[in-house]
Amino acid sequence: MKKKLIIGTRSSPLALWQAEFTKAELSKHYPELDIELKLVKTTGDVLLDSPLSKIGDMGLFTKDIEKHLIANEIDLAVHSLKDVPTETPEGLMLSAFTEREDTRDVIISKNGESLKTLRQDAKIATSSLRRTSQLLSMRPDFQIGDIRGNLNTRFKKFDESDFDAMLLAYAGVHRLNFGDRISEILPHETMLPAVGQGALGIETRSDDEETKEIVKVMNNSNTEFCTKAERALLRHLQGGCQIPIGSYASLKNGTLHLFAYVGSVDGKRAIRDEITLKNCTQPEQAEQAGINLAEELLKLGANEILAEIRKTC
């Protein structure tokens, strides 16, 4: 049994919350284990002047931490699962999927307004193509702008800006105690979340059996099944580009429900579909459901939408 464990993490307040949460949970089960954090600055933390849609977000917040993992400088990495590319580097694996926080997005507005009550041509802040597409598909009058940075920075920029509202994930807002700023929690029928939103992914080396065994206590099987279904769908559609895809899976009494959205960046073309799988007892079945739904989306016209987006990525 290892006596010491080093966790790699970004240094943003939310990333530190996630790493400290992981450390505390592991310490409950392994009180004799010496656990320390190693802070890593990632490319995504440095390139703050350009929208994610321009620089791409494939591994921006994970690759630099993974280098330390591959080099045996840390034992595990704690990521927001929505930031983790669907293909992990050779020699690494996601060994645990934590219990999921509320997956929904929220609106933060200056005057407590909801999506429906925001003024005509309201200015909305988001760095997400997924949110942009879904917003414009509902309200093409919205003027979309970009805000980058960690959560605390975004709130500061927003308060000093002329934006009417901004969109964020409930999970981060809740975890950093900004819940009193929420104007509206958007239902999945209105805004499907990012793949893996609300969950943490614990990444280890594939051959590090001791660490893999240790982090098993963090794994939530419901989260694992649901996020594997979502990630399989994204992997089948994405092709290395940042594209407007939203997805959410739920698992209850052995029945998996998977919902998905694919849209053009301007929201003028949008496709929603869903799939239900009964007697889902293995993660591989959940992943196959994700692939099957991706195929249905392609048949419904998602291939044309994605082909247009890939011309510019």
Residue pair 61/42 in contact (Cβ under 8 Å)? The answer is: yes
pLDDT of residue 53: 52
| 56 contacts: CB under 8 Å, gap ≥ 6 | 241, 242, 313
pLDDT of residue 24: 98
Beta-bridge mates of residue 200: 80
Say what the pLDDT of residue 299 is: 96
Q: Choosing from 57, 64, 75, 83, which is the catalytic residue?
A: 83
Residue 310 pLDDT: 82
Which residue ranges of the chain lie beneath pLDDT 70?
43-58, 60, 239-241, 313
pLDDT at 28: 97
Per-residue pLDDT of 110-142, as tens digits, reads: 999 999 999 999 999 998 999 999 999 999 999
Q: Examine the residue annotation and report whether 141 is marked as an active-site residue of this protein.
A: no
pLDDT at position 204: 98
Please spell the DSSP secondary structure of 210-277, one letter per residue.
HHHHHHGGG--HHHHHHHHHHHHHHHHHHTTS---EEEEEEEETTEEEEEEEEE-TTSSSEEEEEEEE
Task: List the domains of the chain with CATH numbers.
Answer: 1-98+199-219 (3.40.190.10), 105-185 (3.40.190.10), 220-313 (3.30.160.40)
Answer left, alpha or beta for residue 42, where phi above 0 means left and psi between -120 and 50 means alpha: beta
The model carries a pTM of 0.93
CA angle 276, 279, 285 (to 5 degrees): 75
